[in-house]
Amino acid sequence: MNRDEMLARVRNRTEPWDIVVIGGGATGAGIAVDAATRGYSALLLEREDFGKGTSSRATKLVHGGVRYLEQGNLSLVMEALKERGILLRNAPHIVRNLRFVVPNYSWWEAPFYGIGMKVYDLLAGKYSFGSSKTLSLEETLALLPTIRRDGLRGGVSYHDGQFDDTRLLIHLIITAAEHGATVLNYTGVTELTKDEDGFVRGVVAIDSETNERFTIAARSVINATGIFTDETRRLAEPAAEPMMVPSQGIHLVFERSFLAGDTALLVPQTDDGRVLFAVPWHNRTLVGTTDTPIDSISYEPLPFEEEIEFVLETAGRYLARKPTREDILSVFVGIRPLAKSASNGNSKTSTISRDYTIHIDHTGLLTIAGGKWTTYRHMAEDCVDHAVTLGGLEEKPCVTSTTHIHGYYEQADKLGSLAVYGSDAASILALAEANPELGKPLHPRLPYIKAEIVWSARNEMSRTLDDALARRTRALLLDARATVEAAPAAALLLAGELGKDSAWAEAQVKAFNTLAAQYIAQASHYPPLPTSTGKN
């Protein structure tokens, strides 16, 4: 993936593209893979970095959604369970089977969750990740040794999937490119062009690194801009009614020891009706998430003080060692792109459907919004089917249910900390062998070697320190303070690869430190929940 080469393709193209996708998150990347593997000419344009929006900020679960089961949305659960199975099959290096335990402290919980999980098993059918089981007290403690014992009666275990969201995203982007798609980060769409009948026939995009402006013709244009959906729709129809209802969720990251063992913890119903996960991830414990309606959206949303307190307090009720603010290694926040048209009318965002919506407006702009990471492939298939009709393209069958995703590798667990790279791990190790300095750790508290930064610039279009430390590696999410300490060395490596000077590296470090400060909960004072929002 060479960005200059991608830019040249856009510059030199004389024919309209079959499909132009606006947005390089899970939804857009899935569409680019679908379109390219069917044989359409596809261009994906991302304004920031791939995954800078919501797709880097998930709870990292490939799941049917136990919560949606409770809401009675069985078809959504069933579709997600099927997609979970397909994803494990196509990207075994990134998705792993994870056992979850719901601890039971009341007499009714074992039969209640036991039956619920059997329904979950049933809906998974041939895509099952393993059967659920009612656990004795001893079995529960064996799986969750750091759970609060006081009042514990037993538990219910079940299986779901876990992944690294941006690693999958980058591998999807590479998969699309390998099948002929042109993909660009830092190239935002600023206008939509229309024909004499007022139909969208292309886009204007600007490369933010050079300010080069491209006028791009397309047979169909897809808006996959997540929380920015309405902003993009207004480029086509300035009076478009908003369809997004943003809601934010936070995650706190702690040392692994808070949740020893290889099992995740699920609290399906907190005191105020929310779901809480504590999940082992990259040798840390990830705890989340909240669901708080918000009024405004941004790329780097801040957590609210009440959200941090809620997660700390609730986790503290289930873990033997109560986490405190000082224990937080990183806090990260994501905004759910919930689509209003899928709403059930309830004002609580946690009850708005996680199903997706496809909307075609009067100008022919095709918008896809909502859904979840787990179902990105199915969403893409549906969306490309619509684009084919709308753009008058020749019908071609979707092949993504059997397409291996870049890096496909069945024995990834043998690759240690490079497992998520799958088949690329060998090339990263080769970099380290050729230059032993690159084999050294980026930082003693981070599970990365310097070669990964070099690799990200050479092969994965990493353009800034934030790209390399937050989305190619996950350093910022795993330990924000260690990442700030590692930033100067990483910036020099990146500068060397991108042909930049030391002043560029220094400016990158400065900008990154400002950004990273908001991931460091100990030092930050976050805003209180606005009175207009209220907990959800």
Ligand X SMILES: Cc1cc2nc3c(=O)[nH]c(=O)nc-3n(C[C@H](O)[C@H](O)[C@H](O)COP(=O)(O)OP(=O)(O)OC[C@H]3O[C@@H](n4cnc5c(N)ncnc54)[C@H](O)[C@@H]3O)c2cc1C
When the beta carbons of 26 and 438 are compared against ligand X, the nearer one is 26
Name which position in 3, 19, 20, 24 contacts ligand X (CB under 6 A): 24
Name which position in 336, 378, 450, 471 contacts ligand X (CB under 6 A): 336
By CB under 6 A, residue 335 contacts ligand X: yes
When the beta carbons of 47 and 406 are compared against ligand X, the nearer one is 47
In the complex, the smallest distance separating the C-beta of residue 353 from ligand X, rounded to whole angstroms, is 12
Mind giving me the DSSP string for 507-532? HHHHHHHHHHHTT-TTT--PPPPPTT
Phi/psi of residue 364, nearest 5 degrees: 85, 5
Name which position in 45, 95, 287, 415 contacts ligand X (CB under 6 A): 45
| Total residues binding ligand X (CB under 6 A) | 38
Name which position in 28, 116, 280, 391 contacts ligand X (CB under 6 A): 28
By CB under 6 A, residue 476 contacts ligand X: no
When the beta carbons of 113 and 332 are compared against ligand X, the nearer one is 332
Q: How is residue 250 annotated by DSSP? A: E
User: Applying CB under 6 A, which part among 26-34, 393-401, 424-432, 506-514 lies near ligand X?
Assistant: 26-34
User: Applying CB under 6 A, which part among 86-94, 149-157, 224-232, 413-421 lies near ligand X?
Assistant: 224-232
Name which position in 161, 371, 391, 407 contacts ligand X (CB under 6 A): 371
User: Applying CB under 6 A, which part among 53-61, 127-135, 170-178, 411-419 lies near ligand X?
Assistant: 53-61
Phi/psi of residue 78, nearest 5 degrees: -65, -40
By CB under 6 A, residue 353 contacts ligand X: no
Residues in contact with ligand X, shown as a per-residue x/- string from 279 to 318 under the rule CB under 6 A:
----------x-----------------------------
Give a three-class secondary structure readout of 114-179: HHHHHHHHHHHHHHCCCCCEEECHHHHHHHCCCECCCCCCEEEEEEEEECCHHHHHHHHHHHHHHC
CA–CA–CA angle 311, 334, 379 (5° rounding)? 125
Name which position in 19, 27, 265, 297 contacts ligand X (CB under 6 A): 27
In the complex, the smallest distance separating the C-beta of residue 373 from ligand X, rounded to whole angstroms, is 3
- Closest alpha carbon to 292 in 272, 278, 271, 262: 272
User: Applying CB under 6 A, which part among 226-234, 263-271, 316-324, 482-490 lies near ligand X?
Assistant: 226-234
236/220 Cα distance (integer angstroms): 13
When the beta carbons of 32 and 469 are compared against ligand X, the nearer one is 32
* Omega cis (within 30) before 464: no
By CB under 6 A, residue 53 contacts ligand X: yes
Name which position in 334, 391, 407, 422 contacts ligand X (CB under 6 A): 334
In the complex, the smallest distance separating the C-beta of residue 295 from ligand X, rounded to whole angstroms, is 16
Q: Estimate to the nearest angstrom the gap between the alpha carbon of 327 and the chain centroid.
A: 24
When the beta carbons of 144 and 205 are compared against ligand X, the nearer one is 205
In contact, 204 and 193? CB cutoff 8 Å: yes
In the complex, the smallest distance separating the C-beta of residue 111 from ligand X, rounded to whole angstroms, is 27
In contact, 237 and 362? CB cutoff 8 Å: yes
In the complex, the smallest distance separating the C-beta of residue 118 from ligand X, rounded to whole angstroms, is 22
- What are the CA-CA distances from residue 403 to residues 30, 267, 407 (Å)? 12, 35, 12
When the beta carbons of 23 and 114 are compared against ligand X, the nearer one is 23
By CB under 6 A, residue 155 contacts ligand X: no
Token reading at 274: 């929310």
CA–CA–CA angle 522, 276, 166 (5° rounding)? 70
32/259 Cα distance (integer angstroms): 38
5/297 Cα distance (integer angstroms): 33
In a 13 Å sphere around the CA of 199, the CA atoms on its Cβ side amount to 12
By CB under 6 A, residue 54 contacts ligand X: yes
In the complex, the smallest distance separating the C-beta of residue 405 from ligand X, rounded to whole angstroms, is 16
In contact, 26 and 169? CB cutoff 8 Å: yes
By CB under 6 A, residue 23 contacts ligand X: yes
368/372 Cα distance (integer angstroms): 12
In the complex, the smallest distance separating the C-beta of residue 95 from ligand X, rounded to whole angstroms, is 11
In the complex, the smallest distance separating the C-beta of residue 136 from ligand X, rounded to whole angstroms, is 29
Name which position in 47, 82, 93, 378 contacts ligand X (CB under 6 A): 47
CB atoms within 10 A of CB 161: 23
In the complex, the smallest distance separating the C-beta of residue 79 from ligand X, rounded to whole angstroms, is 12
In a 13 Å sphere around the CA of 169, the CA atoms on its Cβ side amount to 30
In the complex, the smallest distance separating the C-beta of residue 458 from ligand X, rounded to whole angstroms, is 22
Name which position in 10, 19, 22, 312 contacts ligand X (CB under 6 A): 22
359/384 Cα distance (integer angstroms): 13
By CB under 6 A, residue 3 contacts ligand X: no
Mind giving me the DSSP string for 274-285? --EEEEEETTEE
List Cβ neighbours of 499 (8 Å cut-off, separation of 6 or more): none
Interacting residues with ligand X between 56 and 75 (CB under 6 A)? 57-61
200/221 Cα distance (integer angstroms): 7
Alpha helices for 156-278 (secondary structure H) = 165-178, 229-236
In the complex, the smallest distance separating the C-beta of residue 420 from ligand X, rounded to whole angstroms, is 16
By CB under 6 A, residue 46 contacts ligand X: yes
Q: Which residues are at the interface with ligand X (CB under 6 A)?
A: 22-28, 45-48, 52-55, 57-61, 188-189, 224-228, 232, 249, 289, 334-337, 371-374
